Amino acid sequence: SAVAFTGLAGDTVRALEPYTEADQHGLLVSVLTAFGCMLNSGPYLLPGSTAHWPRLFALVVGNTGDGRKGESWQPVRRLILEVDKEFRPRVQGGLSSGEGLISAVRDPAYGVVKGEVVLTDEGVQDKRLLVFETEFGRVLVVLNRETNTLGAIVREAWDTGDLSVMTNTQLRVTGAHVCIIGHVTPEELVANCDASWITNGFLNRFLVAMVRRARLLPIPKALDGDALGDLVRRWSAVLGPARSAGRMGWAPEGRAWWESVY
């Protein structure tokens, strides 16, 4: 729908399109997920008693080659790292276990040494984490292992941001702000997805977008100069106020639409 491409997100997609063969829908979910992760847990909605932060889990589905899944991420990555250079270490991959995910956003840990409580691990101060998995099919295989805790930890990361595993009392997280972008082929998704993923709510937490090559660019232009600078200025101007927005409400049009489709 054209409505999805309004505001800064839509303007960003339109500005990036001349520089990539990527589908506009793949660009849009990448833009929204990255922007939401950079915000941290400042703005939120409170329908009922459950807070909803700007944490998106996106699954970009496309065929190998002509899907151009990677093309939907690279220009967005270039943009966000120009906007916030300190965000670079908060973009990580290698999602393979619940403990690994917790470690990337872990709280400080303390232990007893010679009868005194001391800091044994400083933890991670920046609780933002944008997980990018170019081969999400590998993650799906891991999820199907019976003893792996990744599925449960990912669900809790979306729900609360408070994470722990009972087998390691020193490894825990409070207030993590985790977002995920995964790329997968239709064949990998179908082969490794079973009904339990829907019933346990894992797949329901992902925004799934089917993508394909949108245009042919034998030699794409580099995203730099004024085109990049204009986007950086617009994002920088919006991010600061948005981080301190606090509780937000529905726009009248959005509320009416949601009530009509619920």
Q: Residue 67: its pLDDT value, please?
A: 64
> What pLDDT is stored for residue 125 in this prediction?
94
Give the pLDDT score at 115. Answer: 86
Per-residue pLDDT of the chain (262 residues; tens, 9 = 90+): 788 899 999 999 999 999 999 999 999 999 999 999 999 988 999 988 889 999 999 999 999 877 677 889 999 999 999 999 999 999 999 998 899 999 999 999 988 888 899 998 999 999 999 999 999 999 988 887 867 789 899 999 999 999 998 777 778 999 999 999 999 999 999 888 877 777 778 888 999 999 999 888 888 888 899 999 999 999 999 999 999 999 999 999 889 988 999 9
Q: How many CB atoms lie within 10 A of CB 28?
A: 22
Cα separation, 165 vs 163, in Å, equals: 7
Report the C-alpha gap between 260 and 262 in whole angstroms.
6
Report the C-alpha gap between 112 and 68 in whole angstroms. Answer: 52
Which residues have a Cβ under 8 Å from the Cβ of 214 and sit 6 or more positions away? 17, 21, 22, 23, 24, 68
Segments in the chain forming alpha helices (H): 7-16, 24-39, 74-83, 98-104, 136-143, 150-159, 186-192, 196-199, 225-243, 252-261
Under 8 Å between Cβ of 97 and 150:
yes
The first and second tokens of residue 60, run together, are 């970009």
- Give the angle subtended at the CA of 251 by the CAs of 28 and 246, to the nearest 5°: 80
